[in-house]
Amino acid sequence: MDYSNIDFTLDDAIATITVDRPDRLNALNPQTMQEIEHCIDAIRDDRSIRCVIFTGAGEKAFIAGADITAMVTMSGFEEKTFAYHGNQVLRAFEHLPIPIIAAVNGYALGGGTELALACDLILAADTARFGLPEIKLGIIPGFGGTQRLPRRVGLLRAREMIYTGDMIDAATAYEFGLVNHVYPAAELMGEANALATKIARQAPLGIQQAKAAINGGIEVDLDTGLRFETEAVGLAFSTDDKKEGMTAFLEKREPQFQGK
Ligand code: CAA
């Protein structure tokens, strides 16, 4: 598939997906969502990729939401299809056996905050703004915002954000536990690459199993979650990388993980 709305680069083991519609503040239209879905499918099949960075083109926006130009004429049923697809794409982020870092370089509104919430880690520029302003358009969040935001920041904070549509700045997002770190805008991509490199050096099957245990266990009771973890740790113990990691520790050297 040729991409016209996203840019995909691969540098060693780190893939970067950039939504590339800066004149529309990287708003997500159906075509962009299809391209993101295709790209995630391709990443899933590429065993050389160990970490993904997701960001937006330009200095102003990460993603300013779903594309209002595309949505203005949508019927309820058409929007339902768009939202269903959006949710499938963001679920694919969560099921991808590779971590995704959102590098939020500006406005992350509506679908932009929702997409970031489906990533494993969120780094923000100090210029970033988060929000779910859908209520101001007479609608409500449609890519999982009513579900993931309360789980992430708590009911009271999420309700206020969703009922008012107000944006929060990066410092507030950090205080809310919505982002991992905040950096000066000029340093954001360097920091995202440094974090991705650190993750890419770890045992990939271990990372895969840790992600599966975290995401599988977060919505279930503790005993069920612990069973997920037990399965995952058993699988991690069956890898060559387990032997390498423990042998390297005992031999006082850095491990060389192969993803096997
Ligand atoms: N969809 C389509 N176009 C958008 C857009 C969006 N979500 N956000 C910005 N744009 C366009 C603007 O219309 C403008 O286009 P023109 O140059 O043709 O006028 C261009 O991008 C630049 O934007 P602004 O001139 O508005 O820039 P600004 O600096 O004055 O304001 C902003 C920036 C505060 C982000 C403002 O653009 C804004 O409020 N955007 C809409 C945010 C929004 O409501 N997002 C939620 C969408 S609904 C959704 O996401 C549903 C869901 O759950 C999936």
DSSP per-residue codes, 43-93: HHT-TT--EEEEEESSSSEEE--B-HHHHTT--HHHHHHHHHHHHHHHHHH
- Tell me how far the alpha carbon of residue 1 lies from the centroid of ligand 1, in angstroms: 27
How much is the average pLDDT of 123-140?
Answer: 98
Residue 255 Cα to ligand 1 middle (Å): 47
Question: Stretch 61-83: mean pLDDT, rounded?
Answer: 96
pLDDT tens readout for residues 163-189: 999 999 999 999 999 999 999 999 999
Identify the pLDDT of residue 257: 96
pLDDT of residue 1: 87
pLDDT band at 118 (very low <50, low <70, confident <90, very high): very high
| Spatial separation of the C-alpha atoms in residues 119 and 141, rounded to whole Å | 17
pLDDT for 249 equals 98
175 included as an active-site residue: no
Ligand 1 in reach of 216 Cβ (< 6 A): no
* Distance from Cα 64 to the centre of ligand 1, integer Å: 5
- Tell me if 6 sits within 8 A of 42, measured CB to CB: no
Q: In what order do the strands lie in the sheet with 14-19?
A: 6-11, 14-19, 51-56, 100-104, 121-125, 181-183
Nearest residue (by CA) to ligand 1, atom 21, is: 24
pLDDT at 163: 98
Q: Which two tokens stand for residue 33?
A: 């969502």
Residue type, 34: Q
Ligand 1 center–CA 108 separation, angstroms: 10
CA distances in angstroms from 204 to 97, 191, 259, 260, listed in the order given: 9, 20, 5, 8
Q: Which of 79, 134, 219, 251 is catalytic?
A: 134
pLDDT of residue 140: 98
Task: Calculate mean pLDDT across residues 100-120.
Answer: 98
Mean pLDDT of 131-159: 98
How far, in Å, CA of 12 to CA of 236, rounded?
24
Which is the catalytic residue, given 35, 37, 114, 191? 114
Please state the length of the chain. 260
Could you report how far apart the first and last alpha carbons of the chain are, in Å? 30
Structure confidence at residue 154 as a pLDDT band (50, 70, 90) = very high
Amino acid at 8: F
195-205 confidence digits (pLDDT tens): 999 999 999 99
Burial class (CB in 10 A: 0-12, 13-18, 19+), 238: exposed
* 106 vs 25: CA distance, rounded Å: 9
Instruction: Indicate the SS3 state at residue 174.
Output: helix
- The answer on pLDDT for 161 being more than 90 is yes
Closest CA to ligand 1's atom 40: 64
pTM of the entire structure? 0.97
**What is the residue whose two structure tokens read 């970031």?**
116
**Model pLDDT for residues 10-46, shown as the tens digit of each residue:** 999 999 999 999 999 999 999 999 999 999 999 999 9
Q: Which ligand 1 atom sits nearest the alpha carbon of residue 112?
A: 50
CB 236 within 8 A of CB 209: yes
Predicted pLDDT of residue 127: 98
**Integer Rg of the chain from CA:** 19
116's tokens: 């970031």
pLDDT averaged over the chain? Answer: 97
83 has pLDDT over 90? yes
Residue 110 Cβ contacting ligand 1 at under 6 Å:
yes
Say whether 37 is catalytic. no
Show Cβ contacts of residue 102 under 8 Å, excluding neighbours closer than 6 positions. 54, 55, 62, 108, 115, 116, 119, 121, 122, 123
Residue 76 has pLDDT above 90, yes or no: yes
* CB-based contact 123:188 (threshold 8 Å): yes
Domains and CATH numbers, the chain: 6-200 (3.90.226.10), 204-250 (1.10.12.10)
Residues 6+ apart with CB under 8 A from 174: 124, 181, 182
